[in-house]
Structure 1
Amino acid sequence: MKIAITGLGGIGKTQLALEFAFQQKELSDCAVFWISCVNSETIDQAYRIISRELEIPGHNDAQLNVKELLRDYLSSDNSGRWLLVFDNVDDLSVWEDNTSPSSRGLLDYLPKNDIGTIVFTTRDNRAAFKLASPNVVNLSEMDESTSQQLLKNYLGNEDLVKAEEDTRILLERLAYLPLAIVQAASYVNMNQTTLQDYIQLLDKQEAGQIELLSKDFNDDWRYQSIQNSVAKTWLISFTEIKKRDPLASEFLSFMACIDSKDIPRSLLPRPSSLPEAREVEAIGTLTGYSFITKHTTGNAFSMHRLVHIATRNWLRAEETLDTWTDKAVTRLADALLEPDQTDRAQWRSCMPHAHYILTLNAGPYDYNSLLLMLFKRYGDCLYYEGRYKEAEINHEELVKIFKTTLGADHPGTLTSMYNLASVYKRQGRWDEAEKLGAQEMEACKAKLGADHPDTLSSISNLATVYQSQGRWDEAEKLGAQVVEARKTKLGADHPDTLTSMSNLALVYESQGRWDEAEKLEAQVVEARKTKLGADHPGTLTSMSNLASAYRNQGRWDEAEKLEAQVVEARKTKLGADHPDTLTSMSNLALVYESQGRWDEAEKLGAQVVEASKTKLGADHPDTLTSMSNLALVYESQGRWDEAEELGEHVVEAYKTKLGADHPDTLTSMNNVAIVWKNLDRHADALEMMQSCVEARNRVLGLNHPNTKNSAAWLTEWEE
């Protein structure tokens, strides 16, 4: 019978084979023979020694093949029970000699006998199946309990293991790899340190980790001629893979320069002309050595943490780490190109790897560097993902770099300022967005001209800031200007023209001009469906805006149908916690409230409030809007105390964040006044509504629907 034990270097294959040998020796009258396959010389030497010990006739005759003699003897009936172990079978060329028709490999010298057993240990899973299929034992990492026992067995001071948290952290850092655990115990014993000391050393810079994992130690169960450290034990495999499968070596080198977890197969640097079968074989080589594990889908991989560190050290020694890092940066920058236009699933899967490289190679970055290109595109992805705080840090750094390198009025600098202003706007920091946006707009006009596409984008961005600030007349003026200019410059169906039309429709809606808003937004929806597709984020934004127009007109069934469609599409396209998805959910909750479906409105509204707090922060305008909407639901349910508590909080937060005269602040004041009236706080309600009406007259105008609504309540209460 033939058995193969396979697994990552240092996983314990030799130890398992030794344990099996001891058991066979104790359970039966069994002869055990051990052959180290470190190289062909050790194999030849082992055959000679075993033949001599067995006193096989002819073993001293130089004319005879000692391998044939041992094979024939162990295959004979008078050999007795035996176990033959071939340890470290990692070079298959020794076993399959194809140099000439008459040449023979070790496979030809394996004995065959029903009372004999052959055991192979190998790092190469494919070698294991070739030699002993189907009897292959694949060793995986140990569980925490077994790892803890191993550490305890090797530590000179068993009391150290009683520090449970330190033990857990150390074993996790060492990925439960037996060799790494034994090496750590040896270091602690020799230096009289603690587990916590060792953890702190591991958590230092990568060079420090490598130094620690490269330290040799004595182990009676390992060959004296082989270096025992974790980092060094894999060098043989790295070299063997590079020689045997160059593409696998390239994949390994590439993976070592990005994050070790969730590596998309599509990211691997395979030349387009290379057959897919060759890629499959290269991946098979790496999985065969247990350096990577394939996810169940087969479209992503993870690399063993310690292998990742050791591979980087190998590349550093080979003086190729910088070269491979540049290749990884270029590949990722290509994958993150124009993230708003490409498959989100693809660039989302690449973002952790970009973050890994950028963290490892922190700026400031040179203007012409590959890293700066990746840094910029990563920042764009953060913005489109709704991760605005991280995007802010990124874009602020880009503005500094461009200003220093190119000058304050360079088009590249102006673009970076535009992007940063967009981040501020999304964060609800409208005063900062206005200041930076106005500065960038004036610079664009001076540098590029008033009708340049970049200038028009700046004007459009500033108009949306005015819209958010409740400065609707100014927003309308700028917005209408951009619409006409873009129609002339770019065409009526250009995506940028459609964006400016959608923004103008939002202004109309805020002004209470709902028929005009509906007409313009419906036009944009159809054009975007044709131009961009039904599930494009821009199309979904227009559909959501149109649903809001329907809701304001009291066309609740149409609003519900359209907004529900947007919610599902945004969940799929953007994710359930994306700010735009949360906005749609909040709008849908408002529709439910208008339809009298208060339980559904409350459930959905409460969900949005919590998600917005987590994603955007408790004082973000969008979070406050969702809280205001939820308070409105409580009001409809007659839960006046809860409506009062939440509503009052929103009023104060709006005053602080947006100002006392902002339209959203005035809406929340109107709602709180109604709650107070129902709680019999008549004087307070009357005073609040009077303030609201006066402010709405001043800010919105006498004819705005919201002003008329508040005035109607006030008239009724004063009678």
Structure 2
Amino acid sequence: MALDAQRYTIAWIAPLPIEARAAVCLLDRKHSGTFPMQRGDDYVFQAGDVCGHNVVIATLPAGQEYGTGSAAALASQVKKYFPNLWFGLLVGVAAGLPKLTEPSPRDIRLGDVLVALPDGDSAGLVAYDLGKETADGFQLLKGGHVLAVTETVVRAAIGNIRLQAPDDIGIMLPYYEQVKDKEHSSGTFADPGQDADKLYLSDDTGRSILQSRPRRPDHRRARIWYGPIGSGEKLMKNAAKRDTLRDRYSLIGLEMEAAGTMNRIPVGVIRGVCDYGDEHKNKEWQPYAAAMAGAYAKAVLAQIGPRRPNSVCLIPFRQNQDFIGRTEQLDQLQRMLFTDNRERVAIVGLGGMGKTQIALELAYRVQEKRVDDTTERYSVIWMPAQSMVAFHKAASEVVRKLGIQCGGSDDPKEVLREYLTSEAAGHWFLVVDNADDVASLNSVSGESAGLYQYLPRSRTGRLLVTTRLTMVAEDVAVGGIVELSAMTFKEAHLFLETSLRNKAQLEDAESTARLVEKLIRFPLALAQAAAYMNQKKTPIYRYLKMLESADQNMIDLLSRRLRDETHHSETQGAVATTWVVSFNAIREADAGAVRLLSFIQWIESEAIPVTKAIEVLEHVVAIRKETLAETHPSRLASEHALAMAYRANGQVTKAIEVLEHVVAIKQEILAETHPDRLASQHALAMAYRANGQVTKAIEVLEYVVAIEQEILAETHPDRLASEHGLAIAYRANGQVTKAIEVLEHVVAIRKEILAETHPGRLASEHALAIAYRANGQVTKAIKVLEYVLAIRKEILAETHPSRLASEHVLAMAYRANGQVTKAIEVLEHVVAIKQEILAETHPDRLASQHALAMAYQDNGQVTKAIEVLEHVVAIRKEILVETHPSRLASERGLEYLATTLVKR
């Protein structure tokens, strides 16, 4: 899978292989996949997240010479490849420069950490090899002062850690403990021990003398030193020169890469001491020193913290505007989750008791910040858990919408769990609904992980599980359980009152009370009864009689079929009885609908073809027209769905007819900011555009976009979809400059919030490229299209319409840019594929054939061009009226080519 370079903001530069290995081991999560490469790219990067930051690890290739020059080349390519870099950290090993004599002795030891910071008049980093020879001796370039480009936030984070000295080592040691036993190519990152730390100093005669130093206590085994670090081109193995540099520039260490990176990327320099820069240098201490430096770097990133994540709302259901009752349970849930700060809470109750509706109401309260005792903005995520398949599918969709990197071999459930466990996720509220399948919840004989294993834990996260099973609630929430019992009479009466359209019926107090008690104050049964009475305009007393005379055999059968350990027999009977009454009404009104219901019960919902869906929806709409007022939400929802099915099936005129009616009604009864009204207006505009009524589409979409810009965040999917649609309409209407302005905004936002493989992001980038080409900005169009096509080639089959569309448009851009040979190469491929998968009368196949003929013409291949155009003209004459623009274009092109051939 391709990784998106634009998502990475921190460069962790680790030139040596052992330094890079330590960095990889310190990642909280390694990102699967690779960064796309092209000619001229010399380095392969690793990626992951650390303390909520997206980090790229850059290292030198095996065998490349180390030094400031190599580091500069690496840093230059990092800066070029990752456009959104915030700062960098240069992390690795160095020579430590102890000074045991007064004044100001520094007992630097192997494994200590060196952090480049200015010290008095000394620069934080001294490039002691960069400068010029003068009559007065060697003068350093800029006096050696090159640390000024280190980001202020990095210096501030280092300063925060330094304030804890001498206990600052305790801030980073937990990170070292996480990696010390991890393996590299020749061992682990374990401490070789103080007994292996040998320091030799030269006496006046030049002899090396082993120094005796007191053993440090175990709890002070390592120290962090702050001060100037020297950076040079050559490896230091000369004790005399080392000491000269140390004393001249007050250096605490020497290394070989920082001077090469500083003027290209603003880096913080962090080094672990692996030797003393003398002839006793060896590699034994490099793994430990690299891990210690990496641990300090991670501590710095933890101090800075991730940029505040955008909150998201991923709830698949609209808010129930008629929700009433259950105040006590809602208050209890709120208190447990957000006042008592329980990380996990469960609602347990019978099927049909209203668990999902309560969770839904709470989810919207959290999303709208209507929850007491919290000022945080929470991301709200909803996951169905009736089966592992449903949970896996939802996890895949959530990961995609969040833009989290997830490779083909990655389990999206585990990727989502890891993300929500990390600091990058910010505050979140996760609802896991209908966790009733014990087999899915637990692993089966250790063969596969159960749903339990994928439930995240985080101090900034809150988890709410709905279930019928007390054992599940206890396992998940351990005491944080809210049990739902039947509604009180007052709650049930209010529920029925809210559900009934004809409030006058409630004046029959005796019948109302009898109905509430007969249905044992059970929400699902009451809802079914109210739906029937609303549709049939049936008085309560008459509905009671129908309940009493319902087919008892069918009720008994249904009650047995419904039975599981979570239901009481009374609730099964109430639900079954109200269902039988409703089913009998459907059977009397429309026998076809009953046959379709019987058929559909055996089909997976996603496998229902559009034509069958239209047939079902037409029956539903017909029934609701007979039984519901034209302003009823259920009737309007069915009509909207039917219109969408018409449009998906190419019946655009029918879709427009239905949607115009739906929009007219919704404009009368709903506020202009209501999401249902906006959704239908958006759908109508899309239908207008598909039907060539572009001016009408623009008029509606400009209105919708204006409203959504007032009420929705600029990252909201609905707002972005409307803006995208408006831009396409602008382009179709010749308002190309407006289209580009809108699409550049949409693309910029989608790049921030969506993965590079997300269909919505790719669609907007594709549309922007087309607008660029229409505006004569062909070079820009080609650049964007080549990027989009590269992604689509990775994720889509070569027969996929979106991939073929990008190839077709790229070829057109090549042709407009004079790259005719490239255009022909792409179009020949596109035409070959379309000839295999599309009928010869298909508009897309004919459009690509026409374009190929024009490219042949530009390339002087007139005979080939004529051959293709003759075929296109013949087909278009059969299927298009003689005034159709496409037919006319082909005919005129053929006429011109024939004239050209004659002149030859």
TM-score by length of 1: 0.44
TM-score by length of 2: 0.36
Higher helix fraction (1 or 2): 1
- Point out which structure has higher relative CO (alpha carbons under 8 A, 6+ apart): 2
Higher strand fraction (1 or 2): 2
